[in-house]
Amino acid sequence: MGVQLTWRNGLDDSETAEVIGLLAETEKADGVAPVGEHVILRLKAHRDVVHQIEPVQADVRSEHFIVRDSGGVLTGYAHLDTEHEAGAGQLVAELAVHPEHRRLGAGTRLVEALLERADLGAEPDADTGRLRIWSHGEHPGALRLSERYGFHRPRELWRMGRELAEPELPEAQPPEGVTIRTFRPGKDEADVVRVNHRAFVWHPEQGDMTEADVRAKEKEDWFDPGGFFLAVDPSGELLGFHWTKVHPDGTGEVYVVGVDPHAQGGGLGRSLTVVGLRHLRDTGRSRVILYVEADNVPAVKVYQRLGFAKWDSDVQFGR
């Protein structure tokens, strides 16, 4: 059965629902989401806009590749993030193939279309390796495709985890003069974004977080200001934060820990992490996960000392 691929710079309401359904089925079969959270948030936000505005509005940060079989059934999807194409020239893709339609050419067609798109948009003398494709959980199908197209692994993100009952969590000991309080919706967004940018100016995704991004996440079912911890100095200036998250299956997550560079080196990051871990434990979570760059050796060591171990990896492939 053949595959038919189409390109979109905006999805209508029906297609968005189909894509979200395919992503959910893929996650159920593989035990790991095939795309990052930001893709889901963009799809949801776009769906809300489509309900209000006609015709379909394009998201200038996203392009969509849709694969259907000869009967019109959605069998594959790829999201291409073009947000940094004009600056760094980087294009970042994530894709999924429906579990019941694998090994039938959908994944191959998506990768070839993404490569064609990267070449089409490149300057004549540009680096041909500007396309990056994520494989969440290092899926075997992604490994096969990476070998076929000669991809290498420029980036690896570890998922680390631990049980919250054992080993025993240490006490949180904030630096002298530092107070830890919880997040106040409608008041703290700007300060969090400011510190986040300073803490993650080097990070290709996290450093770009905006106030609009924070407010969008405040609307998610998982958002809980009581699990969002802010460290402030005596004058009330924000020094760092630990944003926790709880997944639908009850797993807690060290979602983001950010410390302003001028407040680093005194143990504030570790204290904030412990505060969040103890909160997750005390609210009934039995285990917790986090994501960390594999080459961020200092951070990995901090988490290992707190009882975390590597569980699996998200790998970014490129050429």
Last residue of a domain, one of 125, 150, 175: 150
- Residues 145, 200 within the same domain: no
Is the link from the previous residue into 55 a cis peptide, with omega within 30 of 0? yes
Helix (H, G, I), strand (E, B) or coil at 235: coil
Q: Is 297 annotated as a binding residue?
A: yes
- Residues 99, 166 within the same domain: no
Decide: 88 and 208 in contact? Cβ < 8 Å: no
Token digits of residue 291: 């994501």
| Range of the structural domain that residue 253 is part of | 160-313
Q: Is 45 annotated as a binding residue?
A: no
The structural domain count of the chain equals: 2
Decide: 180 and 224 in contact? Cβ < 8 Å: no
- Residues 92, 175 within the same domain: no
Q: Is 37 annotated as a binding residue?
A: yes
Decide: 318 and 133 in contact? Cβ < 8 Å: yes
- Cα separation values, 139 from 31, 151, 313, 314, Å: 10, 14, 10, 9
- Summarize pLDDT for 78-98 with one digit per residue, the tens: 999 998 776 668 899 999 999
Q: Is 253 annotated as a binding residue?
A: yes
- Summarize pLDDT for 140-149 with one digit per residue, the tens: 888 888 999 9
Which H or E run includes 43? helix 37-52
Beta bridge partners of 6: 66
The angle subtended at Cα 215 by Cα 211 and Cα 218, nearest 5°, is 145
Mean pLDDT of successive 10-residue segments in the chain (319 residues)?
A: 86 95 96 93 71 52 95 97 79 96 94 92 59 90 89 94 95 95 98 97 87 95 98 98 96 97 93 98 97 93 95 92
If you count them, how many residues does the chain have? 319
318 part of a folded domain: no
Q: Is 266 annotated as a binding residue?
A: yes
Q: Is 265 annotated as a binding residue?
A: yes
